[in-house]
Amino acid sequence: MKKITGARAMHECLKLEGVNVVFGYPGAAICPFYDLLGEETVRHILVRQEQNAGHAANGFAQASGKVGVCVVTSGPGATNLVTAIATAYMDSIPMVAITGQVTSGLIGSDVFQEVDITGACEPFCKYSYLITDVRDIPRIFKEAFYIASTGRPGPVLIDIPMDVQLAELDFEYPDGVSIRGYKPKHKGNSKQVILAANVLAQAKTPVIVAGGGVHLSDARNQLRRLSEECGIPVANTMMGIGVLDDDHPNKLGMIGTHGTFLANSALHKADAVLLVGARVGDRAVAKPGQLAARAKIIHIDIDPAEIGKNMEAHIPIVGDAKAIIDELCDRLAPIKGKYETMTAKDDKPRVRKADAEEVGTFIEPRIFVKMLSKSMKDGSIITSDVGQNQIWTANAFAVNGGRLLTTGGMGTMGFGIPSAVGAKTASPDLDVVAICGDGSFQMSMNEIATIVQHNINVKIVLMNNHNLGMVRELQQKHYHGHLSQVSLAGSPDFIKLAEAFGIRAERIESMDDAQAAIDRMLTHNGPSLLECQVFPDEPTP
């Protein structure tokens, strides 16, 4: 067997795991790894701040269904990554984060750029490793990718001291893993599925609530079949957006604080609720106790700890949603009832609250997002930031077969652009558009340089209302209208900024120009920024 260095072994492991791109930022403690980057190795996308390497890996993972990988250095490189790791953890995104660490003999002595990153990330990391023996690299990489991608997916952190990267080992990659404390259960219990089918058959107003787990389990087709063959409408959480196409008659839309009238009404009237891969977060179900008192709750989740955590479940089913939904559909279809649940035809059109005349010189964000969605290729990807832009996008998203990538759990501002970089890298043939607010945009606008450097054809829509709109609205409603630190006066001229980065940019102020501007943006062969002037008092709902 040939001896190779730890750094070479890291590259070998990535290759053997089928990783063809990593997002990262170099520094002293990870230099042995960077020293070996070349044409034969994995492709590296240099971001402009480490947090964005994590968000890009997140977007890549969601778009590809594979594990996203990011690589950064020790100390501040690692701590900058913390928000991205927490974001991936909350939304159950498979990710492997590799951090350089100071030489192992110096750990604990507070040397330059030393930080206990495995300790720091412990509460929001699926698992973490600090490699102290170079011979452990193959096993740990194999385990890390396995843990990140199986069961309930999540981020796994590998911290590698510089001397371990430079030491030598006899490289042999293991075929499998053996972790006695980790045996995720994939197959659902048939007895529970039969119970669930019986409950749904007896129900009058059943509703399916689909969460992000449906996407993670790649169970969109199975869920649609269940809904169609059994006649049960589907509501979704923020992470479950897109499980049914926008014009599907069984689509109810998003539940929760910022959800639709239709979805929330149907859930309120439901006598049976089938939750699939949804963790009953507080923004989705504000009063879980009341819901469980009204309706029979069937909860499918691969993580047993999510069942019963936030809401009592009458019928828990632990396992992978895809096969369970298929089995449930087979059992329910012959015995299904005649349901009286609300469907898309019961929807009440939303009444605009903003002043109509004033809106004439602004972009109506919801109509715009719908227009944009319909102009994109089927299956395409929109990423969103956080704030009003996220809710407008969530409720108006209408790309057939497409995905909305957003941070439902953490609500991380600045996610839009870097996650779009990751998504476009995974799916170069699809349209990828990031929808940002002017607040979030300024948290990651430096990534336009990444887009330019690596020629990543990402489109950016900037909803500019010159304010931190959602906080402003909160202050108006709940803090007696006292507006505190929500004006973003001082922001740059975004068109000039984009041009300074060398990308195409355009500003629109009227819906009359929207369709043409969308078409110009999407057909332009290269990255592009479209700034939409939005009325500052445009409400969230």
Partner 1 sequence: MKQTLSVLVENKPGVLSKVSGLFSRRGFNIYSLAVGVTDDESVSRMTIVVDANDVVVEQVVKQLNKLIDVIKVKELNENTFLTRELALIKVKANASSRNEIVQIAQLYECKISDVSPTAMILETSGTTDKIDALEIMLKQYGILETMRTGAVALEKGKETI
Binding residue (CB under 8 A) for partner 1 from 49, 118, 260, 427: 118
- In the three-class reduction of DSSP (H, G, I as helix; E, B as strand; rest coil), residue 471 is classed as helix
Positive or negative: CA dihedral 282, 284, 290, 292 = negative
Position 182 contacts partner 1 (CB under 8 A): yes
How many residues of this chain interact with partner 1, rule: CB under 8 A? 17
Position 179 contacts partner 1 (CB under 8 A): yes
Name the residue nearer to partner 1 (CB basis): 308 or 526.
Answer: 308
Residue 313: CB minimum distance to partner 1, A: 12
Binding residue (CB under 8 A) for partner 1 from 18, 38, 176, 181: 181
Q: Residue 540: how many CB atoms within 10 A of its CB?
A: 17
Site string for partner 1, 476-515 (x = CB under 8 A): ----------------------------------------
Question: H or E element: which one contains 121?
Answer: helix 117-121
Name the residue nearer to partner 1 (CB basis): 108 or 401.
Answer: 108
| Contact in structure between 433 and 371 (CB atoms under 8 Å) | no
Name the residue nearer to partner 1 (CB basis): 147 or 232.
Answer: 147
Name the residue nearer to partner 1 (CB basis): 173 or 182.
Answer: 182
Q: Which residue type does 178 have?
A: S
Where are the alpha helices (H) located in 270-319, listed in sequence order? 288-294
Phi-psi region of 347 (alpha: psi -120 to 50; beta: other; left: phi over 0): beta
Position 127 contacts partner 1 (CB under 8 A): yes
Contacts of partner 1 in 398-457 (CB under 8 A) = none
Distance separating alpha carbons of residues 80 and 127, to the nearest angstrom: 18
Name the residue nearer to partner 1 (CB basis): 306 or 327.
Answer: 306
**Structure tokens belonging to residue 312:** 């009592």
Torsion of CA 390, 394, 398, 402, to 10 degrees: 80
Where are the alpha helices (H) located in 360-461, listed in sequence order? 365-375, 388-396, 416-426, 438-444, 447-453
**Structure tokens belonging to residue 217:** 């389990």
| Contact in structure between 209 and 237 (CB atoms under 8 Å) | yes
Name the residue nearer to partner 1 (CB basis): 304 or 337.
Answer: 304
**283 — phi, psi (to 5°)?**
-80, -20
Q: If you ran DSSP here, which 8-state letter would residue 177 be given?
A: -
- In the three-class reduction of DSSP (H, G, I as helix; E, B as strand; rest coil), residue 358 is classed as helix
Identify which range of 51-59, 123-131, 409-417, 451-459 contacts partner 1 by CB under 8 A: 123-131
Name the residue nearer to partner 1 (CB basis): 318 or 508.
Answer: 318
Name the residue nearer to partner 1 (CB basis): 161 or 259.
Answer: 161
Binding residue (CB under 8 A) for partner 1 from 8, 55, 66, 126: 126
Name the residue nearer to partner 1 (CB basis): 281 or 527.
Answer: 281
Position 348 contacts partner 1 (CB under 8 A): no
Residue 119: CB minimum distance to partner 1, A: 7
Position 123 contacts partner 1 (CB under 8 A): yes
Distance separating alpha carbons of residues 299 and 124, to the nearest angstrom: 24
Q: If you ran DSSP here, which 8-state letter would residue 128 be given?
A: E
Binding residue (CB under 8 A) for partner 1 from 9, 140, 147, 276: 147
**Structure tokens belonging to residue 60:** 């890549």
Identify which range of 174-182, 199-207, 221-229, 433-441 contacts partner 1 by CB under 8 A: 174-182
Distance separating alpha carbons of residues 209 and 217, to the nearest angstrom: 15
Contacts of partner 1 in 283-322 (CB under 8 A) = 303-305, 308-309
Binding residue (CB under 8 A) for partner 1 from 65, 76, 105, 119: 119
| Interacting residues toward partner 1 by CB under 8 A | 118-119, 122-123, 126-127, 130, 147, 179-182, 303-305, 308-309
